Amino acid sequence: MRDAPASALLIEAFANTVDVELGTDELASADGLAGWLAERGLLARTHQVGAPDHGLCLRLRAGIREELGVNVGDDADPALRAGAEEALRELPVLVAVGHGPVHGSDRGPLSPAPDLPPPRRALAELAIAWCELRLTGEAARLKRCSEHTCAWVFWDASKNRSRRWCSMRVCGNRAKARRHSAKQTEAAGSTVPGA
């Protein structure tokens, strides 16, 4: 079993700010976003998040969640993907050639552009985390639960990366129970005289 890297934990938490099952959204407001970013040390509590940055964040999250829910061979919703790509263009990131700090930052080889205002720098950190996962191939281990009533994002630690549900006990059993019920209904329908 492989432990999730810090970038995966951050993106997992970001994607799970929306809870499909409960119908809640931690980032429903700009204040909610500011608090969430502050809790993760990405933004000082004294900073406010405006409506444009809030909208940018929601587009980024929607695109990432969509990408995490795409099965191999399927395509993501082009509108959600385009919205996230547009959001990423507004979050420039600097890349260092060598090892060590970038442009006075201790971030590593990638860092938010220094001229970004604090809320956008925080969002650029999310973009960097997503980029790291994509570049290392670890994004394939972050998945959205196949149970449509759940859609929780989870880290797939299985050797062959084949896990489909966030919890086999809950979501996996729901899916299996539905399949079993459908088979029973189908079998009952085929044994009815005249059917």
**For residue 77, what are its two tokens?**
């919703």
**pLDDT for residue 70:** 76
Mean pLDDT value across residues 35-48 = 97
- Name the residue among 17, 95, 7, 102 with its Cα closest to residue 57: 17
Token readout for 159 is 């050797």
| Long-range contacts of residues 28-31, Cβ cutoff 8 Å, at least 24 apart | 29/54, 30/54
Q: Which domains are delineated in the chain?
A: 6-164 (1.10.3300)
Could you tell me where the DSSP H helices lie in 50-142? Answer: 51-68, 78-89, 118-136
d(CA 22, CA 25): 9
pLDDT band at 76 (very low <50, low <70, confident <90, very high): confident
Give the list of residues 6+ apart from residue 174 with CB closer than 8 angstroms, or none. 147, 149
Average pLDDT on 55-78 reads: 87
Output the average pLDDT for the chain. 85
Residue 58: pLDDT band (50, 70, 90) is very high
Look at the pTM and tell me if it is higher than 0.85: no
CA distance 73 to 44: 41
Token look-up 């189908």 returns: 186
Q: Give SS3 for 175.
A: helix
Whether residue 106 is predicted with pLDDT greater than 90 in this model: the reply is: no
The secondary structure element, H or E, covering residue 94 is strand 93-95
